[in-house]
Amino acid sequence: MRAVVVDRWMEPEELRVSETPAPDLAPGSLLIDVKAAGCNFFDILMCQGRYQVKPDFPFIPGGEVGGIVEAVGEGVTGFAPGDRICASTGLGGYAERVVVSPRGTWKIPDSMSFAEGAALPVIYPTSYAGLVVRAGLRQGETLLVHAAAGGVGSSAVQIGRALGARVIATAGGADKLEVARKAGAEVLIDYREEDFVARVMEATEGKGADVIYDPVGGDIFDRSLKCIAWNGRLLAIGFAGGVIPTVKVNRILLKNIAVIGLHWGAYAQHEPERIPETFRALFDLYEEGAIRPVIHGTYALEQAKEALLELSGRRTTGKVILEP
């Protein structure tokens, strides 16, 4: 089968498609005909050897797919060949076939495309668990979403709006702000041209944002502490800006705020019961029309390097998808 195979630490521009044996269907697993694979920033870090998980060589990157069940392993129930699914793969998604665990696989609604399915398993549970489970976002509260035009940011805007929050979005440039507006943001801030702290305080009449969703880190995290409301919750989702921030605890104390982390991947180990309930909620929101993955573009498997360079260069709005 055709796949993107990584046999040493490499940069995105070095990625190539090669022929490799198809994976074996083991008992208790599913063989998936991959129709779409989601691209994530951690794929780049993994190829470079900079991610916390360092697979043995050779490996195939790609942590989420949409596709069709081709075969069902011994002992698996609840799935049949022909089922339309999305799946968290961990590895192996940048290929024509992948073997996955049923525990990380979900049947998708008939109205959901494979590209949308591939865009869902990482970013939407991250945003839902962050906003609902961790931050307890409530109807009528103000939610500030940074990098709101990206895949993870746009999912947070959509979910926040669906929960009844007033959403303030930051992004760089008019085109990206338009993506955030379409996702449901009410207040739009171009961080390249405006001081988001001042704009947030103005938009909230001096109160600040009740919940702040930060996938960027660094200076964005630091400055967010200046526009958070009393009893506010600052969600640390990731560090796409490349700098892991620190915080002086007195700032947490003085404003009675909470700094909250979210590691969605660890729920499988620590709170596995949260995973199916989160996906049920997301599929319900999709069928209600409250959420819909924003797709930046689709690329052929041979264009994996171009897709990841677009992602690393911050030229994307929404999700980047490979179609084997």
At residue 120, what are phi and psi to the nearest 5 degrees? -95, -40
User: Tokens 């931050």 map to which residue?
Assistant: 135
Q: Where do the structural domains in the chain lie, given as residue ranges?
A: 2-120+293-323, 123-265
Whether the bond between 245 and the residue before it is cis, its omega within 30 degrees of 0, is no
Lowest mean pLDDT, pick from 167-171, 194-198, 308-312: 308-312
Three-state SS at 49: coil
CA distance 304 to 129: 29
Nearest Cα residue to 61 out of 310, 304, 320? 304
**How far apart, in whole angstroms, are the C-alpha atoms of residue 154 and residue 157?**
5
Q: Which residue has the tokens 């052929």?
A: 300
Binning pLDDT at 50, 70 and 90, where does residue 315 land? confident
What digits encode the pLDDT tens for the residues 241-257?
878 999 999 999 999 99
Percent above pLDDT 90 for the chain: 91
Give per-residue pLDDT as tens, 151-195: 999 999 999 999 999 999 999 999 999 999 999 999 999 999 999
| CA 168 centroid distance within chain | 19
On whether the CB atoms of residues 122 and 41 are closer than 8 A, the answer is: no
Encoded tokens for 52: 């916390």
Mean pLDDT of 129-149: 97
**Angstrom distance (rounded) from CA 73 to CA 70:** 10
- pLDDT of 53: 86
Q: What is the pLDDT of residue 276?
A: 95
Length of the chain: 324
What's the average model confidence in pLDDT over 109-123? 96
Same fold for the domain at 2-120+293-323 and the one at 123-265?
yes
Mean pLDDT estimate for the chain: 96
The architecture CATH gives domain 2-120+293-323: Alpha-Beta Complex (3.90)
User: Does pTM surpass 0.75?
Assistant: yes
* Predicted confidence (pLDDT) per residue in 35-75, tens digit: 999 999 889 999 999 888 899 999 999 999 999 999 999 99
pLDDT band at 221 (very low <50, low <70, confident <90, very high): very high
Contact 281, 128 (CB under 8 A): yes
Q: What percent of the chain has pLDDT over 70?
A: 100
Range 70-86 average pLDDT: 98
Q: Rounded distance, CA 231 to CA 86, Å? A: 37
3-state secondary structure of 317: coil
Rg over alpha carbons for the chain, rounded to the nearest Å, is 20
- Cα–Cα distance, 122 to 41 (Å, whole number): 11
Distances (CA, A) of 301 to 19, 21, 38, 298: 12, 16, 11, 10
From residue 81, alpha-carbon distances to 30, 68, 74, 260 in Å are 9, 7, 13, 41
pLDDT at 318 over 90: no
Residue 181: per-residue pLDDT: 97
Which 8-state DSSP code applies to residue 205? T
Indicate the CATH number of 123-265 among 3.90.180.10, 3.30.750.24, 3.30.565.10, 3.40.50.920.
Answer: 3.90.180.10
